[in-house]
Structure formats: C-alpha cells, structure tokens
Amino acid sequence: MRILVVDDSEERGQAVKEALDGTDCIVVGQVHSSAALRDVLKRQDVDVVIASMSSPDRDTLESFRSSADENPRAVVMFVDEDGADMASEAVRAGVSAYIVDGFSSKRVRSVLEVAILRFQEFQRLKGELEKSKAALADRKLIDRAKGILMEQRGLSEPDAYALLRKTAMAQNQKIVDVARSVLSVTELLRT
C-alpha cells in the first residue's frame, strides 16, 4: 500500500513513518503544507493519505474533497484539537477516519485497517447507488418508450414492452438502447 503523509511537523511525520515500519505500507512522500497537497495528490499514485496535524484547516479539507472526486482514496486524519464541526466537515471531504487527541504510533495500524475497510465499504455502497440510479434512469426511458408505443400503435403495456424486447433481441441491443431510439425518432418526428 502506497501512503502519503501530510504533516507540517517533520518530527510527527517521521513518527508516522516509523509506526508503519514492518507493514506492507510504503511511504511515498510527505507534504508539509496544505498548499502543496492538492498538486501532490494529483501527481502521486497513493492508496492512503495519513494526515497528522494540530488542527485541520479548510484548505486541507478542500484538497481532500477535490481529490476524492477525481481519485478516491482512504484518508486518515489525526488531530490534536477538534474545532467546531470539523469532524463532519472532514467526513464530507472524504476522510475515512478522524481521530481526535493526536497521533499515537500504537494506534496507527489498527486505525489504518479500519479506515481502509470503511473506505472500501463506502466505495461499494457508492457503486451500488450509482448502479441503482442508472437502472432507474433506464427504467424511466423504457417506460416513456412504452408509453409512446401504446399511444402511437394502440398497444397494451405488456405488448409495448414485448415489442421493445423483441426489437432489442432482433437487433442484438439492450432494451434501453431500443427505447432511446424510439424516443429519438419520436422527438425527430415532432420537430
């Protein structure tokens, strides 16, 4: 696992690196400022980011947020002090684990494991949600195409669906693609 350490303190960053000795983790670099974080996250291929800081700042969280949109990865954040609403801001920015009371080398491995599992579960759920949204959108297209066929050809709903299905099989296409074609042709004829 490739790890990027984010810490403005060289000493704390070194402690994080030492805590990861003997694991299958490779620390690929350390970022000392939130200003450089966004660029490093774009250039570096990392699996996990471990941030250890006194208090999270909005620039760091924004870097995590934009990075999560482009290239999601597990983020573990150790903070010395918790500001108002910072934990919820961190989670919305894509932080997988938010640990208050600072960095502890004894906890790094277990926190890292839990954060990775949580991140993977979140990605799985996100994938399922996207599939469900796509399936619902496809279903709406098919229903609209069925409605057009029912109106134009005087078919019942089962017969309209059967026609879409038969056409899809004959053309070696998905039903939703045939439905899109029906909608496109209908739109073309209405103009």
Q: How far is CA 98 from the centre of its chain?
A: 18
CATH architecture of 128-190: Orthogonal Bundle (1.10)
Q: What is the DSSP letter of 164?
A: H
Residue ranges per domain, the chain? 2-106, 128-190
Which segments of the chain are extended strands (E)?
A: 2-6, 26-31, 48-53, 74-79, 97-100
The whole-number average pLDDT for the span 50-72 is 81
Across the chain, mean pLDDT equals 87
Alpha carbon distance 99, 43 (integer Å): 27
Q: pLDDT tens, 111-150?
A: 888 899 999 999 999 999 999 999 999 999 999 999 999 9
- Alpha-carbon Rg for the chain, nearest whole angstrom, is 25
In this predicted model, what pLDDT tens digit does every residue of 24-57 receive, in sequence order? 788 888 888 777 887 888 888 888 998 887 777 7
Quote the pTM value.
0.72
86 contact partners, CB below 8 Å, separation of at least 6 = 55, 56, 79, 98
pLDDT at 71: 83
The residue ranking higher by pLDDT, 159 or 106, is: 159
Angle between helices 175-190 and 108-153 (to 10 degrees): 50
Residue 31 and residue 74: Cα distance in Å, rounded? 16
Closest by Cα among 43, 10, 55, 6 to 27: 6
Q: What is the CATH number of domain 2-106?
A: 3.40.50.2300
